[in-house]
């Protein structure tokens, strides 16, 4: 099981791995609702070639990703395939599905 610090560390790491050219035309707030003892609420704000991260509830997210914190940790560290996790119901997406599809390509592998 990933620690709460490891899970929380995913989001600042995503900011450093952000590829602005792959996010062209994206202007969105993405909410991450992670369950479990090591879970929590996190967000990414993507727009104008920039990416920011934070904790807590985001205002008016265009997309919400819901998952167990351990499953999201596995996806974000390359131990689990995002599409397989989605197809098996481990990742749930609410809102703009096109953002979810781009999410995989907007960040370099960490």
Task: Assign 104 a pLDDT band (cuts: 50, 70, 90).
Answer: confident
pLDDT tens for each residue of 15-53: 999 999 999 999 999 999 999 999 999 999 999 999 999
Distance from C-alpha of 43 to C-alpha of 37, rounded to nearest angstrom = 18
- What pLDDT does 108 receive? 86
pLDDT tens for each residue of 64-103: 999 999 999 999 999 999 999 999 999 999 999 999 999 8
- What pLDDT does 110 receive? 59
pTM of the predicted structure, to 2 decimals: 0.95
Q: Using only C-alpha atoms, what is the Rg of the chain?
A: 13
Distance from C-alpha of 5 to C-alpha of 38, rounded to nearest angstrom = 8
> Which domains are assigned to the chain?
4-103 (3.30.1050.10)
Distance from C-alpha of 85 to C-alpha of 82, rounded to nearest angstrom = 5
């Amino acid at each position: 099981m990933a620690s709460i610090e490891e899970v929380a560390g995913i989001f600042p790491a995503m900011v450093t791995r952000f590829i602005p050219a792959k996010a062209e035309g994206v202007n969105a707030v993405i909410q991450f609702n992670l369950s479990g003892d090591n879970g929590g609420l996190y967000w990414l704000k993507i727009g104008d070639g920039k990416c920011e991260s934070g904790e807590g509830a985001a205002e008016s997210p265009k997309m919400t990703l819901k998952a167990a914190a351990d499953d999201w940790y596995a996806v974000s560290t390359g131990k689990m395939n995002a599409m397989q996790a989605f197809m098996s119901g481990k990742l749930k997406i609410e809102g703009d599905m096109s953002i979810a599809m781009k999410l995989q390509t907007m960040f370099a592998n960490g």
